[in-house]
Amino acid sequence: MRRFAILLAAAGAALGLTFAAPAWAKTIRIGIITTYSGPLAPPGISMDRGLTLYAKLHAKDLPKGVKVRIIRRDDTGIAPATAKRLAQELVTRDHVQFLAGSVYSPDALAIAPLATEAKVPFVVMNAAAADLVRKSPYVVRDSFTLWQVAMPMGEWAAKHGMGDAYTAVSDYAPGWDAEGGFIAGIKAAGGKIVGSVRFPLNNPDFAPVLQRIKDLHPHTLFIFVPGGPQSTQMMKTFNALGLAKAGIHLVTTQDLVIDSELPKMGNIPLGVVSSGTYQEASKRPANRAFVAAFQKAYPGSIPDFPAMQGWDGMAMIFRVIRQTGGTFAPAQAMAILSHYSTTNSPRGPFHIDPATRDVVENVYIRRVEKLKNGQLANVRFDTFPMVSDPWAKMHPQK
């Protein structure tokens, strides 16, 4: 009888252990799909650094016994078929509970239907095509849309004597959105567009395109290229052809003067006015802490808006884990994500609009200036407070 009792106790303990195991060693798997290699990699690497840093610094804030495992996959650039396959593998092989990342919109658009099918929340940390959030109820975005950023730029330009503008954008969805947003903004404020051009996304040489603009000689030129190495290439060509010297005023979005590329541009971008959601030079305490941590972890590198978006996206995921203690259904996670709100992001305040699952945030008007330490930086001088995506308002969902 006694032996039986011991056996029973032992079996109970064993059972208890097996049942208890998930409770004290619960691992939340997060699948990151972003661009780690190829010519378009820098924003992806930046994003990864931001999100990795957040996860590292805040692991201590997780509920007791809950751990986070980040599984990284490289979509290699604008490669939607690859992105979709990677998302499928993350879901079926690695059983991730979140998908996140995506620098480029075509990749995110390909992943969205899979998020719906697999019922896995997908936190978009950069991809900026306006209609992306409508492609799946499991998509939530913490970055921006190009309509959201470019429209204030157009308004500002028209109100400051730059109402005769020419637009030049990369020929893909975010480029079209930047063009549409800027034109809508400039028209709303009484300006006009004298011409528009779209150039191929993978263009080795911008010179003929810019030379035509120089020959046409508009007063103001609005440019959009995806932020990263193309930014430097474009700014250098702009300078080599002497467009500024010819008296053409450049306005743009934060992509062309992305903080991390500024050191490669020499003095070329001095004075360029742009609209954006984040500047590394911002003196807000939350940002100084972020920048300090970033530069301690990755010496010699400068955090930019993709890094900030990776950081904030991971903060959103961590909030889900903390509020639920690590056990949650996909719908529950989506509810928390789409009601997310903070005043303490490096960018300033922002929240997610639960109706659209898209981000609402300040859009800053900045100018490239030389700081006291001799480095160039985007410095804010005007703010459009708490802007939501204008495209969604203008195109109500049927």
Partner 1 sequence: MHQALSAAISIGFFGLAYAMVLYLISVGLSVTLGLMGVVNLAHGAFAMFGGYAVTELMARAGLPFWAALIAGVVLVAAGGAVLERVLYRRLYGGDELDQVLLTIGLVFMSLAAARFGFGTLDQVFHPPPALAGTITIAGRSFPTYRSFLILSGAALVALLWLGLDRTRFGAMLRAAVDNPRMAEAVGIDTGRLFAVSFALGSGLAALGGGLGAEILPISPAYPVQYLVDFLTVVAVGGAGSIRGPFLAALLLGISQTAFLYFWPASGSFFIDALTLGLLMWRPRGLVPAA
Partner 2 sequence: MIAADPVAALAARHRWRWPEALPWLAAVAAFFLFPGYLALGAQILASILYGLSIDLVLGYGGIVTLGQAAFFGTGAYTAGLLAAHGMGAPEPGLIAAGLAAAALGALSGLAVLRLSGLAQLMATLMVAAMLQSAADKASAITGGADGLQNMAVGKVLGLFAFGLYGRTAYLYALAVLFLCFLGMRALVHSPFGRSLVGMRENAARMTALGAPVFARRLIAYTIAAGMAGISGALYAQSTGFVAPDSLGFDRSGNILVMLLLGGIGRLYGAFIGVPLFMVAQDRLSDLDPAYWYFWIGLGLVLMVRFARGGILGLAARIRRE
- Strand, helix or coil for residue 343: strand
Q: Does 245 bind partner 1 (CB under 8 A)?
A: yes
Binders in 347-386 for partner 2, by CB under 8 A:
none
8 A C-beta contact, residue 68 and residue 137: no
Is the Cβ of residue 174 or residue 276 nearer to partner 2 in the bound state?
174
Strands 220-224 and 164-170 turn out to be parallel
Q: Return the one option of partner 2, partner 1, none that residue 172 interacts with (CB less than 5 to 8 A, by type).
A: partner 2
Is the Cβ of residue 145 or residue 274 nearer to partner 2 in the bound state?
145
Q: Name the percent of the chain in helix, strand, coil, to the closest 5.
A: 45, 25, 30
Q: Return the one option of partner 2, partner 1, none that residue 41 interacts with (CB less than 5 to 8 A, by type).
A: partner 1
Is the Cβ of residue 109 or residue 315 nearer to partner 2 in the bound state?
109
Region from 89-97, 106-114, 204-212, 348-356 binding partner 1, contact rule CB under 8 A: 204-212
Cβ count near 306 (within 10 Å): 31
Binders in 63-82 for partner 2, by CB under 8 A:
74, 76, 78-81
Q: How many residues interact with partner 1 (rule CB under 8 A)?
A: 29
Amino acid at 186: I
Burial of 332 (0-12, 13-18, 19+ CB in 10 A): middle
As measured in angstroms, the least distance from the Cβ of 386 to partner 2 is 29
Residue with tokens 């395109």: 209
Give the span between the Cα atoms of 345 and 343, in whole angstroms: 6
- Strand, helix or coil for residue 298: coil
Task: Supply the DSSP symbol for 171.
Answer: S
Give the span between the Cα atoms of 310 and 123, in whole angstroms: 10
Q: Does 173 bind partner 2 (CB under 8 A)?
A: yes
As measured in angstroms, the least distance from the Cβ of 168 to partner 1 is 9
Q: Does 267 bind partner 2 (CB under 8 A)?
A: no
Region from 84-92, 317-325, 351-359, 382-390 binding partner 2, contact rule CB under 8 A: 84-92
Binders in 281-310 for partner 2, by CB under 8 A:
none
Strands 249-253 and 220-224 turn out to be parallel
Binders in 39-58 for partner 1, by CB under 8 A:
39, 41-42
- Kindly provide the b/e burial profile for residues 314-323, where b requires at least 16 CB atoms within 10 angstroms of the residue's own CB: bbbbbbbbee
Region from 34-42, 293-301, 332-340, 371-379 binding partner 1, contact rule CB under 8 A: 34-42
Task: Supply the DSSP symbol for 357.
Answer: T
**Binding-site string for partner 1 from residue 181 to residue 200, where x marks contact by CB under 8 A and - marks none:** ----------------xxxx
Half-sphere exposure (Cβ direction) of 178: Cα atoms closer than 13 Å: 30
Is the Cβ of residue 78 or residue 273 nearer to partner 1 in the bound state?
78
Give the residue, chosen from 10, 205, 285, 292, that forms a contact with partner 1 under the rule CB under 8 A. 205
171: left (phi over 0), alpha (psi -120 to 50) or beta: beta
Binders in 86-145 for partner 2, by CB under 8 A:
88-89, 91-93, 105-106, 109-110, 113-114, 117-118, 129, 135
Which residues are paired to 167 by β-bridges?
Answer: 196, 222
- Kindly provide the b/e burial profile for residues 86-95, where b requires at least 16 CB atoms within 10 angstroms of the residue's own CB: bbeebbeeee
As measured in angstroms, the least distance from the Cβ of 81 to partner 2 is 5
> Residue 307 corresponds to which tokens in the numbers above?
């890094």
Q: Return the one option of partner 2, partner 1, none that residue 197 interacts with (CB less than 5 to 8 A, by type).
A: partner 1
As measured in angstroms, the least distance from the Cβ of 36 to partner 1 is 9
Task: For the chain, state the CA radius of gyration.
Answer: 23
As measured in angstroms, the least distance from the Cβ of 233 to partner 1 is 7
Give the span between the Cα atoms of 168 and 67, in whole angstroms: 46
- Strand, helix or coil for residue 208: helix
Binders in 303-322 for partner 1, by CB under 8 A:
none
Q: Does 327 bind partner 1 (CB under 8 A)?
A: no
Residues that bind partner 1 (CB under 8 A): 37-39, 41-42, 171, 197-200, 203-205, 207-209, 211-212, 215, 229, 232-233, 236, 240-242, 245-246, 264
Residues that bind partner 2 (CB under 8 A): 37, 74, 76, 78-81, 84-85, 88-89, 91-93, 105-106, 109-110, 113-114, 117-118, 129, 135, 172-173, 201
